[in-house]
A and B are shown apart, each in its own frame.
Chain A
Amino acid sequence: MSNGIAHAEGPTPTHGHAHAHHPALQHHFDTMSQQREAGVLGMWVFLLTEVLFFGGLFFAYALYRSWYYDAFAAASKSIEILPGLINTVVLIASSLTMALSVRSAQTNQRKATVNWLIATIILGSVFLGIKVYEYADKFAHHHVPGASFQFAHVPAPGEPHVEEAVAGHVTTMGPDELERTTQIFFSLYFTMTGLHAIHMIVGIVILFIITWMAHKGRFDDEWHAPVEMTGLYWHFVDIVWIFLFPLLYLVERHN
């Protein structure tokens, strides 16, 4: 449809050249490198959008953390640290496998590309599995904001009791206010990690498609931009978590 008319008259349009094009070249691009640069630039611009998208949440986090530091510290300490730590390691590992799949695509190693992509999918799924466990834990402890929210901070062994910890800073925050304002922390916790998880799910769906395309041999040393662009996206989602982990799990863990 797209090039049907132009053939009808006048000099042959650029599309109808006799020399062979790369099969992946779309009609409106002149060269493969133009097509690749457009795609990668597009992905960078999209990631810029994503930075601003998450930026609004980080801004809200910064504001409320400075207002209600004690509530944030108490709420953060109530979160189990180990699943978050494992997930951090899992995600960093998945970024490595993703980078290796891009490298394999660039060097024409079809099988290795597919395998590294599958490894990335598995690691991403492990992350989501652990996230499900963490969410279930929050529901069990009534740490989900809303009508049934309850926050009674149980100090870990050796940890100073919350009233003592509070006493070190603003002494005015009583249990009632703590319960109200920790809801803001958990609202942000669920919105931030929830959006991050949605980005992971989208990423895994894209990875499946890219894996299938790689399996079919669609990529070679001349055309591998889709793998590269998926990699950029995946690394971005990874970096978001690198920020989320300390901001949500590690507030005042030093004492």
Chain B
Amino acid sequence: METPVYPAHNYLSNGHTLKSWLLTKDHKRIAILYLISISAFFFLGGLFAVGIRLELSTPQGDLFQPDTYNKFFTLHGIIMVFLFLIPSVPAVLGNFLIPPMIGAKDLAFPRINLLSWYLYIIGGAFTLFAIVAGGVDTGWTFYTPYSATSSSTNVAPVALGVFIAGFSSILTGLNFIVTIHRMRAPGLHWFKLPLFVWAHYATSLIQVLGTPVVAITIVMLFTERAFGFGIFDPQRGGDPVLFQHLFWFYSHPAVYIMILPALGVISELVSTFTRKRIFGYSFVAFSSLAIAIFGFIVWAHHMFVAGISVYAAMVFSFLSFSVAIPSAVKVFNWTATMHRGSISFETPMLYVYGFFGLFLIGGLTGLFLATLGTDVHLHDTYFVVAHFHYIMVGGAIMGYLGGLHFWWPKLFGRMYSDFWSRISAILVFVGFNLTFFPQFILGYLGMPRRYHMYPDEFQVLNVLSSGGAAVLGLGYLLPVIYFMWSLKYGAVAGNHPWGASGLEWRTQSPPLTENFLEVPTDIPEAYEYTPKVVREAKLV
């Protein structure tokens, strides 16, 4: 194989001015804008996590006042959920890859795509303003009546920020749905699509159907704070539990907005690095839709102790268990794909192995919490914190990082350091488990979440957790360094450094602004790794 040459003409060389970036309609450039901005918010949210873990290294509340601590975990949650996890995989990798994966020149609505980035930035600016103006202390869940009447912090600006960022998410989902329906290359029917695209389709459905509900809930909360209306105010007969219902109607499916795209990434990676077609392709495709649909009918498992009826709780408990079925379908099918596959251990695949372990633990501990009696014991303890971090950080961020390492050569045409990226993948896995596994035990022993002090006997586990967070933080910082380094000094990647078969690897890296010189017409089945295909496409 000849040495690859870095292409002189690509989407990055197409204009170097600030204007050519800030007014771009190219989905690839918008993806890069998202990559930069969500990374900034990720490290800001991480800074608040550092504060939390520092405070919890000792049993006494000796670093922050209780009010300050409340603001720290609130801002950590709001920034990580709304400004990092929700946009992470879809807005960066989905934005960049869906058009080339389906043989299109761009998303259906390039201007709306740019608008959604600006909405994201405006939403983020409101949140930053609230931080500068003194923070907010309601928890990321904004529960009423505290958020509506009692809290004296900046609830309104943050609520407005979340509302605006929500519309950014809706527009991304809308764009993907229309793009996947209307922009596929001729001959690329639904069951030839990469599972990454299926996962994003399911995610987009949640974004389009769920986000408006939390948006209107925030509007109602806003009218209470700004105009003295009383929709959730118990003094006027309003029901704070209604707020919880409406909030979780979005915010539970929102977990699937975070995890489904990561599951799509994992499908691509497993297939590529085992050189096999995904086992049970259509089952994996439909399991994404099933997760999206089931996700909408399980929300009240967040409210088992909020005074909802026992019968409702039983139904929601049962339904919550049913989410395990499509999730397990995916895990079993990935395992079956690997069976007798030609497995390799490249860096993206290391993230997949890490993902398997963390997603498994995170998913199974979810069943503990879906069980009515157990949940009464574990509700609002560190067990819940550990559980959702295993899914949202262990699952979603491992998928995001795995995907970023996989497609980085496609995004920028250059390879990063193989050695350091492996070190980083291992640090993230070890650091993550050290941080969050002790929290399962802490929660089981009864340590509640959202307190800045705790009894002395919990200190050993808390120190382990804080130490793990330091390792995890290092694991997250390393990629920033070697990714930046790769932009200038990395080896030229060539069109398909991993020998993957997807359409996005058929164009140059980095791609042309139009993605393809000619619209691909001979569309293969997804994940074709028969010897003939490998030979003819020169994938090796």
Which residues does A use to contact B, with CB under 8 Å? 1-6, 8-11, 13-15, 26-28, 30, 34, 37-38, 41-42, 45-46, 48-50, 52-57, 59-60, 63-64, 67-68, 71, 145-147, 177, 180-181, 183-184, 187-188, 190-191, 195
Contacts and interface: CB of A to CB of B under 8 A. Distances in A.
Contacts of B219: 191, 195
Given A42-B174, A181-B236, A187 B213 contact: no
Contact of A14 (B11, B242, B512, B519): B519
Q: Which of B11, B179, B211, B219 has the most CB of A within 10 A?
A: B219
Interface of chain A, helix or strand or loop or mixed?
Answer: helix
B367 interface: no
A146 B229 contact: yes
Nearest to B99: A28
Interface string B481-518: 00000000000000000000000000000001110011
Given A5-B512, A9-B9, A63-B242, A28 B217 contact: no
B231 interface: yes
Contacts of A2: 25-26, 513
Contacts of A45: 174, 177-178, 208
Contacts of A52: 209-210, 212-213
Contacts of B239: 63-64
Contacts of A48: 208-209
Interface in B234-273: 235-239, 242, 246
Contacts of B227: 145-146, 190
Given A146-B227, A181-B236, A37 B216 contact: no
Nearest to B27: A28
Contacts of B109: 38, 42
Contacts of B107: 28
B178 A41 contact: yes
Interface in B141-182: 170, 174-175, 177-179, 181-182
A185 B190 CA distance: 47
Contact of B237 (A5, A147, A181): A181
Interface string B45-62: 000000000000000000
Contact of A42 (B106, B108, B231, B246): B108
Interface of B: 9-11, 13-15, 20, 24-26, 104-110, 112, 170, 174-175, 177-179, 181-183, 208-213, 215-217, 219-220, 223, 227-231, 235-239, 242, 246, 512-514, 517-519
A6 B512 CA distance: 7
Nearest to A144: B227
Nearest to B208: A49
Contacts of A27: 105-106
A49 B174 contact: yes
A145 B514 contact: no
B223 A8 contact: no
B280 to A, nearest CB: 29
Contact of B230 (A49, A71, A145): A145
Given A13-B514, A28-B108, 8 more contacts: A3-B514, A4-B513, A5-B513, A5-B514, A60-B231, A145-B229, A183-B236, A190-B227
Contacts of A59: 246
A84 B170 CA distance: 33
A146 B149 CA distance: 12
Contacts of A181: 236-237
Q: Which of A4, A15, A49 has the most CB of B within 10 A?
A: A49
Contacts of B11: 5
Contacts of B215: 53
A5 B231 contact: no
A127 to B, nearest CB: 21
B238 to A, nearest CB: 6
Nearest to B167: A49
A145 B228 contact: yes
A53 B174 contact: no
Given A42-B174, A49-B170, A52-B209, A188 B514 contact: no
B435 to A, nearest CB: 36
Given A53-B215, A60-B242, A187-B223, A38 B13 contact: no
B231 A188 contact: yes
A11 B237 contact: no
A8 B228 contact: no
Nearest to B175: A42
Contacts of A56: 212-213, 216-217, 220, 246
A34 B184 CA distance: 11
Given A11-B518, A184-B230, A3 B237 contact: no
B514 A6 contact: yes
B508 to A, nearest CB: 10
B228 A147 contact: yes
A184 B105 contact: no
21 contacts: A5-B13, A5-B14, A11-B517, A11-B518, A34-B183, A42-B109, A42-B174, A49-B208, A52-B209, A52-B212, A55-B216, A56-B213, A60-B231, A64-B237, A145-B227, A180-B236, A183-B229, A184-B230, A187-B223, A191-B219, A195-B219
Nearest to B237: A181
Contacts of A15: 514
B98 to A, nearest CB: 13
Given A45-B178, A187-B229, A28 B517 contact: no
A45 B109 CA distance: 13
A198 to B, nearest CB: 10
A186 B178 CA distance: 38
A191 B174 contact: no
B230 A183 contact: yes
Contacts of A28: 104-108, 110, 183
